Amino acid sequence: MTPADIAALPVDAVFATFGVAASYTAPGIGAVAVPCTVLLDAADRVFDTGQGRGVVKGRVVEVRISEIAAPARAGTFTITATSEVLKVTEDPRIAEDDPERLVWIMRVS
């Protein structure tokens, strides 16, 4: 096993335990929905501006790079159980504490 394989084990366990079935459709005409498992986070984000603290409301989706290699702004995730459609509103990013580049994080609406 490579170090990346070892690092993926706990990530896969989290997605297996807390993830929900979804599909991702890239922006553009003729894009095909790709099945995936996502983590949904609706928690408020608190940040320090140096002159006080601010709160940003919003939803965040996390998806494994092994499932969706290149999600994009304006792509959509459809939650299988509810048919809820979540549109990616910002460029996807990888967390600073993810050196193996295992999970995309993106804000959705």
CATH number at residue 15: 2.40.10
Say what the pLDDT of residue 55 is.
Answer: 66
- What is the average pLDDT value for the chain, to the nearest integer? 91
Residue range 71-107, pLDDT digits in tens: 999 999 999 999 999 999 999 999 888 999 999 999 9
Supply angle C-alpha 105, 44, 54, rounded to 5.
110
Query: In which band, very low, low, confident or very high, does the pLDDT at 56 lie, cut at 50, 70 and 90?
Result: low
Residue range 19-38, pLDDT digits in tens: 999 999 999 999 999 999 99
Domain span at residue 72 reads 3-108
Burial degree of 88 (CB within 10 A; 0-12, 13-18, 19+)? buried
Whether 63 contacts 21, CB under 8 Å: no
Say what the pLDDT of residue 54 is.
Answer: 65
Say what the pLDDT of residue 13 is.
Answer: 96
Tally the domains of the chain. 1
